[in-house]
Structures are given as C-alpha cells and as structure tokens.
Amino acid sequence: MNTAFSIRVYKQYFNFASSHFMLFKDGTREPLHGHNYRVQIKGNALELNDDMVFDFLDIKPIVREICDSLDHKLLIPKNNPDLRIETREKNYIFITKDESVFSIPQTDVLILPIENTSAERIAGYLAFQIRDKVMEKFQFEFKELEIEVEETPGQSAIFVLTKE
C-alpha cells in the first residue's frame, strides 16, 4: 500500500508586489499593471523523514527569499519570441510586436526565463526555483511540489512539479 504525506505552507510574507504585461499571440499586449501576488506551496512525499515531510523552519526562508527577489520589480518574460530586449547604458529597452517601446532602469526589472508573465508561468518559475534551492541546501526533492500564485483575492493559478 502506498502512502503519501503533504505539507502546505502559506505565510503572510509569502507575497510580492510586481508589475507586468501579458503578450498575446495576435501581437497585442495588455497595459502595464501590477498585482499584489500571494504564494502558497504544497509539498508531497511518499515517506517521512524524522516524522516530517520537510521541516517548516527550512522551507519558509527559501520561499520568502524567492518572493522577495520578485518584489517591486517589473517582470519580463525572456523566452517570449514577440518581445525584443535590448540594453542601453543602465536601462533595458523592451520592444513589443505592436511596436510599443519601454525604457526601464535595469534595477527595476527582473527578466525571467519564462514565455509570458501569466500567473501560471510565474507559478512554474517559483516551483523550479524552490525545487533547486531545496535540493542545493538540503539534498531533498519533493515527490510533487504544487505552487499556487494568487494574483488577486479569489483568482489564482497552480503549477504542479512532479519528480521524474
């Protein structure tokens, strides 16, 4: 008989305020705007280690650090083919398919290795970041890691990362 255990962690400080704009396949984009994102994680394991899936005291600083890295940044998708990214002195220049041009100080931007800045893609980014940091610091991998990113109250996206 297989058994499974889970931890779910959602702290008030698992949040970040960021701006973004979505790029759509037809070449349009939504206006630049922001959200106060909230993050919740669920980690599953088939067995317990010291009677725990993973120590809450170890996972909380990892999630907080990753959320803090996104806080007060313009989130830009590096892997979107309809977005041109250039650097000019201390600024990033972003040119969209509809020929909008943004010039933003590099210190205000976080370029993410994702296709778009939807809540779904951000949840995926967070999942891989958390997985990598947990492995690096604790040599542990969840059987399944579920990340929920709430964009506004009652509206969230979930990404599930399954151990291969």
pLDDT tens-place values along the chain, 164 residues long: 465 899 999 999 999 999 999 999 999 999 999 999 999 999 999 889 899 999 999 999 999 999 999 999 999 999 999 999 999 999 999 999 999 999 999 999 999 999 999 999 999 999 999 999 999 999 999 999 999 999 999 999 999 999 87
Indicate the number of domains in the chain. 1
Q: How many residues does the chain have?
A: 164
Residue 112 lies in a domain: no
Residue 111 lies in a domain: no
Which range marks the domain in which residue 132 is found?
5-72+120-162
Residue 34 lies in a domain: yes
CATH number at residue 24: 3.30.479.10
| CB hemisphere CA count around 92 (13 angstroms) | 19
Residue 47 lies in a domain: yes
Q: What is the pTM of this model?
A: 0.95
Residue 48 lies in a domain: yes
Which CA distances in Å does 114 have to 22, 75, 87, 111, 119?
12, 10, 19, 9, 11
The two structure tokens encoding residue 91: 């600024």
Residue 82 lies in a domain: no
Residue 158 lies in a domain: yes
Residue 101 lies in a domain: no
